[in-house]
Amino acid sequence: MATQTSIDMLQIAAAAADATGAEDLVALDVSEPLPLVDIFLLATGRSERNVAAIADEIEDKLHEAGHKRLRREGRSESRWVLLDFGDLVVHVFHQEERSFYALERLWKDCPVVPIDLPAARSVD
């Protein structure tokens, strides 16, 4: 079961992703099949530039909160960026890669972790 620390990290990452236009955010508790990781966060960007911006914002916000990135892959192409923070691994996909690799299907037996996003700002 995912730890509170990894759930807190997830909320920071999800809020950062949402703030930069990420779509279709899904968090999966992968702690049972992967003992070294608690949560996968999956997010989709609309373009390579958007994917890069989402990944950069997630990395910045988690760093500000005191979490160290262990590994980053895919930033140069920005089609699928993987950010490994130990207990939390973030996958930011371009739409085509998200459909092609279908990690939700691969990890379909893992429970979904709820994501609490900040309420959308209303324009008066």
In a domain, residue 117? The reply is no
Task: CATH number of the domain at 31, please.
Answer: 3.30.460.10
Query: Could you tell me how far CA 110 lies from the centroid of its own chain?
Result: 16
Q: Encoding tokens for residue 113?
A: 């972790």
Residue 57 belongs to domain spanning: 4-106
Per-residue confidence (pLDDT) for residue 122, from 0 to 100:
43
Q: Is the pLDDT of residue 121 over 50?
A: no
Q: For the chain, what is the mean pLDDT?
A: 92
What is the number of domains present in the chain? 1
In a domain, residue 121? The reply is no
How many helices (H) and strands (E) are present in the chain, helices listed first? Answer: 4, 5
In a domain, residue 120? The reply is no
Mean pLDDT of 23-48: 95
- Distance in angstroms (rounded) separating the CA atoms of residues 81 and 65: 20
In a domain, residue 90? The reply is yes
* Polymer length of the chain: 124
Per-residue confidence (pLDDT) for residue 81, from 0 to 100:
97
Mean pLDDT of 38-53: 96
In a domain, residue 55? The reply is yes
